Amino acid sequence: MFIPMIIGEIRRYLRDNNSIRVSRSLRDIAYKAIYAKENLTKQTLREPTIEEIETEIGIPKEEIIQALDAIQSPVSLYDPVYTEGGDTLYVMDQISDKKNKEDNWVQELSLSEAMKKLTERQNRIISMRFFQGKTQMEVAQEIGISQAQVSRLEKTALKSMKNYLG
């Protein structure tokens, strides 16, 4: 008798105290997709494609993807992803900037002059990280050093540039 009331109160609390509000219809789509995925996985003994889930529940894949994204817990850019030898890799370090935003020419000139003060290796790392939008891991693989070394060289280079521009 009290169990349905308790379950209702728990659901209401979780719904009302979530950090991001997601509509009930979007949440319902996500749960249908998760349920369908579990059933299809049991039937086929492999993870189903989004198209298979779409066929199973009759909802367009774009809506399924949007719903599944909406129920994900938010992640801080400062959450650690990996730690090696005291140097921590954060979510922020894994984000690539695909847009090369144009700044005004005075800032570009100053930046260009500051980069001339760097060693060849530092210059390459800064170029790859901030102008090509590569992650520290991508830079490390391309240059052939560890992510921790990229992190240290990047910090030193940015400090040097800051001192020059400062």
**CA-wise closest residue to 65 among 76, 51, 75:** 51
Cα(109)–Cα(125) distance, rounded to whole angstroms? 19
Instruction: Specify the pLDDT at position 104.
Output: 57
pLDDT digits (tens, 9 = 90+) for 61-101: 999 999 988 888 777 888 887 777 777 888 877 776 555 55
Show the domains of the chain with their CATH numbers. Answer: 3-70 (1.10.10.10), 80-165 (1.10.10.10)
Instruction: Specify the pLDDT at position 96.
Output: 62
Q: Which two tokens stand for residue 33?
A: 């997709």
Low-confidence ranges of the chain (pLDDT < 70): 1, 15-16, 18-20, 96-107
Instruction: Specify the pLDDT at position 105.
Output: 60
Instruction: Specify the pLDDT at position 98.
Output: 53
Instruction: Specify the pLDDT at position 69.
Output: 87
